[in-house]
Structure formats: structure tokens, C-alpha cells
Structure 1
Amino acid sequence: MSRSLLLLLVVVVIDQLDSGMATPIYPMLFTDPDSPELLVSPRSAERSGAWFIALLALAYAVPAFLCQPIIGQLSDRFGRKPLLLMSFASSTLSYAVVAAAIHLDSFGGVLLGRVIDGFAAGNILVAAGVIADRSDGAERTRRFGWFTAALSLGFVIGPLFGGYLSDTEAADWRGPGTAFAVSGVLNLVAMAVFWLGFRESLAEEDREEDDFAWGQSFRNAKAALFDEGRRSLYLLLACFIVAYMSFLLFAGVLLEERFGMGPVELGWFFSALGLGLAAVQIFLVDPVEKRLGARRALCAVFFLMAGAVALVGSAWSPWVAYAAIVPFALGTGMIEPVLQSLISRSASEREQGRVQGVRGSVDSLARVLPPLAAGPVAALGATGWALYAAALAAALGGVGSAWLVAHKPSAAFARSEGEEGDAGDGDHRRDDDLTGTGGRAEEPEESVAYT
């Protein structure tokens, strides 16, 4: 592994602290009426606390949906490094705004911080483009496994980090605002290190010079629906994101409501979950995909994820929720790197930023659905049913994967599976040769233009 790639993974871990850190903090801010750090009235916390968490998720998802493809286009034109630096700077500003808002007891300020972070959400999209730039052949799946493992590792550290720093009972200087402030400082340091040590991954000759397109998010959503070669992959990704984000949003609320878990206990729970995800993505993604093939592996792990989420939703003891971590990690840890790799393999080197932009738009659009659909359910006091809805989304992904097992796979699936696909007879052409053109950059006449 090159120094720049290793540095990218380390920075991604630090940048992802926010996602994991907020999970044990949000219940004490919005749903626990006895919390001294409550940002809403105790009555609002009891009656609709989950809805405030859903609004924060929505405040992030909408600007992320609008901005990710734009950032993808800019990274194709100007390179990955400047766009990553800009996104890291925006994330640092977001942490500072949230920390100040918590200190001032302002829900509106926290909401503003989440909006700013949504505008910076393209950093993960561009980082995925770096992996695609520097990976060929079978190495791509393995490196995307490392990439998603880095995301999960941030989720391992984040809940412990957030739970420890927000525990006001342990020390007066701790609190949710402290956690976000320290995270902002870490992100600023990571940005400086990245600026000094990262080498640009996109060569000048591979950069796009096409006209810049505003409103690309909506074109991407349309492209995802009408792209026959990748549509099944995008739909499976949407099912996964809806299930995963619903779980992250409301599992902590359920555990706090049902078992009285505080930020430290929730931190341990979500850290154990993140550790399981990282282990699966580091050690199991590559061998399982090679043994089962992408379609069969996705079918099995989607159903495994659905069962684990439903188990947490029906948990009658904290230990039942802890027991669900194992199947959840086995299922969830496989899905995203396999789908990410398949989507990346379906594109040429010059298309990587734009195809990742479409993938990012599907991801962001899917993140809008949990707060809109499951949020009102959880706000009515039926948090368990919000998790059952998440399990249903994962089960739909399993059904879709089973359909792909029974029918002719798309080109992306065929190219990913060796002996199972059309290219499995010892042909080791480039992974972006999905049209039978021998590696040429030409697109078929009916291919979708992402501009």
C-alpha cells in the first residue's frame, strides 16, 4: 500500500468520527427528558424527540444530495486533492458550529451545522474516486474493502470518543459540545497532514474538460433509473442505505428508551458494532466474494442484515441487542464494499468521478427516506417499528439479489464474478472493459451520459 493511500485511509477514519460520535450523543440531547444537556423541552423530548433527530438527518441528507455530484465533477476537472481539502475544511467548520450551538442551547445552530456538513459530504465520494484511480483488476474489491473498513473504524472510535467526552457525570469539563469541539480540532490537524503528505491521484491527461452541469443530482437520479447496466446495483445500494441509516438513527433511541442506556453504554454498543464491521470488511469481503460470487454473497448478507435489525427492534434485553451485532456485522459489512466495487468496475478511468457522483446521489437520496418515513413512526413512540421498516428495506435488497441470481446478470456482475460471468474463461482484461470492446474507451450507443 502506497503512503498516499495509507494517509487517505487514516484521514477518512478521523473524518468519520462525526458519524459515530453523534450516535450516543443525540439521545441525551433530544430524547432523554431527564438529561441535563437536553436542547428541547422535556415534554418535546418525550413526545417527539426522535423527530428532532430525524430533522438533523434530513438537514444533512438534502444538501449532500444536491452537492455530491457537483463535487464529483469538480474532482474530475481539478483533481481529487483540492476538493478533499475543501470538504475537510467545511467539516471542521461544521464541528465548530455544532459545538457552539450546544453551548448556547440552540437546536437551530445544531441544524445549521448539519447543513454545512451536508455540503461537505462529497469528501467520501472523492476519496472513493482516489481508490478507483489507483486500483485495477481484482485489487479494486480488496482496496474498497480497506476503504469501507476505514469508515467502519471511524465508527468504532467515534461512539467511544463521543460517549466518553459527553459524560458530564464523570467530569464537569465534559459534555456533547466538548466532543464536537475536540473532533473539529482533530479534523483540522488531519487536513493539514493530508495537504502536506498526499500526492494527487488523477493524472492531468485523465481529467475531464466537459462543461460544468448544475442540477446534476436530478440528472443522476434519472440516469440511475434508466441505466440498464447499473440500475440493479443502484437499487440494491438504495435498499442498503435506507436500512442502514434507519438503524443508525433509531437504534440508540430504542436502547435508551427501552433499557435506559446512557452515552457511555451506547458508545460501547456502537463501537462493538463498528469493530465487527471493520473486521468483516478487512478479512472476509475478498474471500467470500471469490467463493460465492457477488450475486449469491449479496443475497445471503442482505437477509442476514434484515434478521439482525429485526432482532434489535424486538430486543427484550440489552444482551439480545448485543447478540445481534454478530449477524449485523456479517451482513452489513459485506454489502457496501461489494456494491462499491461493482459500480466502480462498470466505468472507465475517465468516468470514475461521474459514476461515483451518480452513486453518491443515490446514496444521498436514499438517506432522505429514513427521516421522512421512519422518523414520524419513531416520534409516535413506536421506535421498534422504525427498525422493522429498516429490516424490510434490507429484505427487499435480499429479494432483489435473489432475482439477480436467478436471471442473467448485468455486465458489472458478470465482470466481477470470474467463472460465473462471461469473462470467467481465463480472460483477464481490464475491469472497465464491460462492453466487449477490448478495453477501448468507446461507449455503446445506448449508454447513459452522466453529464
Structure 2
Amino acid sequence: MQKHTAAVRFVLITVILDMLALGVVIPVLPNLLKTFLNGDTVQAAHYYGAAGVLWAAMQFVFSPLLGVLSDRFGRRPIILLSNAGLGLDYVLMALANSLPWFFIARAVSGICAASVSSASAYIADVTPPEKRAAAFGSIGAAFGIGFVLGPALGGTLSAVDMRLPFWIAGGLSLANFCYGYFVLPESLPPERRSSLDWKRANPVGGLIWLARHGKLLGLACVHFLNSLAHFVLPATFALYAGYRYQWSPKEIGLTLMAVGVCSAIVQGGLVRKVVPALGERRTLLLGLVFGATGFVLYGLAATGPWFVAAVPIMAIWGLGGPAMQGLMSARIDGHEQGKLQGMLSSVMGVAGMIGPALFTQVFAYSIAPEAVWHEPGAAFILAGLILLGSCTLAWKVARSLPARPVEPAVLAASAPDA
């Protein structure tokens, strides 16, 4: 039990540092892009959407490969390689001085963005099936903690220098690599590792594997719609808040900090209370309903204070993700957890190839002079409707999902390889 607790703590600190590094750059990334475009917000929205599609395409292609590799060689090396790659990518972003370099950096970031899926597989390795929803909630809370400090820090640092947040993010990711190298134990012992199956190491083969697991395909579709709606926030929020509320990067960062606080409270505390009381199925539906409501309120908020007032309502959406992951991971054998998490990341990658372009185009059109309906929040309203569809599908799929308990993996007791 002591080893299990220590291992989970290691992983959560890894996720916190990763999300802190990511949160630092969110408020300033669109503004960096605008410096290459003479401050044109509409053009920045188009290019930012394209960069988001590129990032997601890299994640779509490489996540299944990294998931299969983690099932074969263990979670630890994948997490470490991801952290090192992200650190070097932030350094590249800090040095980028043109659109081509900006896009190259986003591609590298997409390739390396596998630490969270590997961390989820790690959690599944060391946690009994009935407790995984709460454990996945802890990962969500770690996300929230990272976003509490990251955006506020990034917004403040950008006032000193536009590129300083990227240097800080790079340092955090490389520090994360050093931390994991010396203290993170492996969670998947050699006897529980699977053979290297190249057919499942590509997104098409992985999707076929997922389809063969029956009801998991339906939940994967729910995950896709969930992810698609999620991309409206990173794709448009900084541009939206700057245009509609005239917020500075610092104000944008502080708002994202509030989002992180509420998310940490929900996923770090409420998940552990709500899932045992309502069950994973009802918790999933509850989260989706609140998420759809929150997005619509974001889109209709005519002033900044009204947007902030909707943040706690939106945060309840955080109940859905851990509940859904708990439903899925409990029906997959221990040696396939990395494959599952890699495929979930790949599904998110598909959503990411659609979402940023979709939402930035909707936002750009809604603020253009020739727009028939001038509504800056149209992208958020669309995301709310997508989540409403996700909720309907989840209700149909989850109510008939059969139980399939599996044995949790045993945490490797050996010390990490140096």
C-alpha cells in the first residue's frame, strides 16, 4: 500500500509540473503568433487553428505508438522521453522568430504530448478497478493545480518579456524529466508486459482494436465529442477574451487560474464523493449536463464578470472524464492499459484535428465585419451543443454497459533504472 501511494504521488507531481509548464504559455501563445501577423486578430485565429490541427495530427499519429511502446517497455521511459521532448520544444518556441518555426515547434509538442496518457496507464497499473475513477480524478486535480499557477505566472511574465514564459516552461519540463529520472519507479513489471504489436501501434489499427471491444467503442465516441468540445477553450479563449472583454494576458491568466482552482476542487475532491454515491454512469451524465450548460453560459456572457460567474458551473464537467475513464479501464486487461490510454489520446487527436480549426473559424466568422450574426461567443455555444449530443450518446451507451472486473497490475518493487 505504501509503494502504491508513493508511486501515485510521483505521477501526480509529474502531471502537475507538466500542466504548470503548459499553463505558463497558454495566455501568451496567441499573442506570440500575432507578432508574426502585424497584430491581426482574425488572421491569428486562422493560423492558430491551423497550428492546433497540426498539434493534434501529431498526437493522433504518435499516441498509439507510444501507448503500445509503454505496454512493451514500461511507462517510465515514455514519461521521461515526453518530458525531455517538451522541455526542448519550449526552448524552440522561445527562439522561434517566424511562422514556419512556430509550426515546427507545435508539431514537436504534439509528438511529445504523451505523458498524460502514460500517466493514466500508470495509475491504472497500480489502482484496483473500483478505485480508478477517483484515481483518474486525482490526475484531473493535478491538471487543475498546474493551471492554478501556470496561466497567472505566464500572464505576469509576459508583461516583462513575451518569450520569458516559454523559457520558464522549458525549465519546468526539463526539471520534471530530472525528477522522474531519479525517483519515478516503473509500474509495469516485465512479466505483465505485452509483445510489440505494430498493427496496433498505428491509429487505424488501434481504432480497429478499440472497435472489437464492443461497448468501449460507444464510450470512445463520447470521449471524442467530449474532447472536441474541450478544444474550444484552448483554441479561442485568449483571442475571445481579448476581443470581447479587452482582457490583457495577465487577466486571461488569472481567469484560467480560477478555472484551475475550480477544476482541482471538483476532480480532487468531489469525484471521490460523487462516484461512490451515484455510480460511474450517472456521474458521467451529470458532468456532461453541467459542461453543456457551462459552455452556453460562456458564450452568452456579455461581460467579464458574467464569464467568471459561470466558471464554477463549468467545473462540474470535470466529474465526467474520470467516471468515463473508470468505466473503460475496468474492462481492459492490465497489460493493455497503455494501449487503451494511447487510443484515448489518439481519439483526442482526431478531435484536435477538427476542433481548433472548427472553433477558430466560427470565432473568426462571428466577429468579421460581414458576419450575418455578430456573436463572439458562437464557438462556445456550439461546444455546448456538442456536449449535449455527447450526453445523449452516453445515456444510450452507459445504461447497457456490462460489468467486467479485471485484476489490477502489481507495482514493480524494483528501484528505477538509472
Q: Under a length normalisation based on structure 1, what TM-score does the superposition of the two structures give?
A: 0.84
1:369 to 317, 329, 354: 354
C-alpha separation in 1, matches of 2:132 and 2:42: 47
Q: Whole-Å Cα distance in 2 between the matches of residues 311 and 240 of structure 1? A: 17
Cα distance in 2 for residues equivalent to 1:274 and 1:306: 18
Specify which of 81, 87, 92 is matched with residue 86 of structure 1: 81
Residue from 27, 32, 48 that aligns with 1:29:
32
Number of residues of Structure 1 aligned to a counterpart in Structure 2: 397
The equivalent residue for 1:329 is: 315
Instruction: Report if the CA contact (8 A) 2:235-2:359 is conserved.
Output: no
Q: Which residue of 1 aligns with 2:390?
A: 397
Shift of 1:222: 3.5
* Aligned 8 A contact 1:301 1:330 in 2: yes
* Aligned 8 A contact 2:17 2:172 in 1: yes
**Structure with the larger helix share:** 2
In the TM superposition, 1:334-373 aligns within 5 A as 334-373=319-358
Deviation at 1:296, TM superposition (A): 2.0
Q: Secondary structure at the match of 1:293?
A: helix
**CA separation in 2, counterparts of 1:232 and 1:111?**
34
Asked whether 1:124 is paired with 2:116, we answer yes
Task: Assess, with a 3 A threshold, how the Cα gap between structure 1 residues 177 and 291 changes in structure 2: closer, same or farther.
Answer: same
Distance 1:55 1:385, change over 3 A: same
**Deviation digits for residues 23-62 of structure 1, max 9, x if unmatched?**
311343346xxxxxx22123xx143221122122112111
Maintained 8 Å contact 2:59/2:110 = yes
**2:247 pairs with 1:261:** yes
Q: Are 1:384 and 2:381 an aligned pair?
A: no
Structure 1: distance between partners of 2:168 and 2:196? 41
| Residue 239 to residue 386, structure 1, CA distance change in 2 (3 Å) | same
Closer/same/farther in 2, CA of residues 385 and 225 from structure 1, 3 Å limit: farther
Q: Give 1:398 deviation, angstroms.
A: 1.5
Deviations 1:195-216 (A, max 9, x none): 0111111101001124433761
Q: Does the 8 A contact of 2:199 with 2:206 survive in 1?
A: no
Amino acid at match of 1:24: P
Show structure 2 runs of 5+ residues with no match.
368-374, 409-418
Q: Which has the higher contact order (CA 8 A, sep 6+)?
A: 2
Tell me the distance in 1 between the aligned counterparts of 2:29 and 2:359: 16
Show the counterpart of 1:239.
Answer: 225
Task: Within 5 Å, give how 1:298-337 maps onto structure 2.
Answer: 298-331=284-317, 333-337=318-322
CA separation in 2, counterparts of 1:114 and 1:386?
A: 23
In the alignment, the residues of structure 2 paired with residue 226 and residue 205 of structure 1 have an alpha-carbon distance, to the nearest angstrom, of 25
Gaps spanning 5+ residues in structure 1: where? 32-37, 168-173, 416-430, 434-438, 440-451
The one-letter code matched in structure 2 to 1:312 is Y
Point out the structure with max Rg over C-alpha. 1
Which letter maps to 2:350? Answer: L
Give yes or no for the alignment of 1:115 onto 2:107.
yes
> Are 2:186 and 1:195 aligned?
no
Q: Aligned equivalents of 1:364 and 1:175: distance in 2?
A: 32
Q: What fraction of aligned residue pairs are identical, expressed as a percent?
A: 27
| Aligned residues: CA RMSD | 1.9
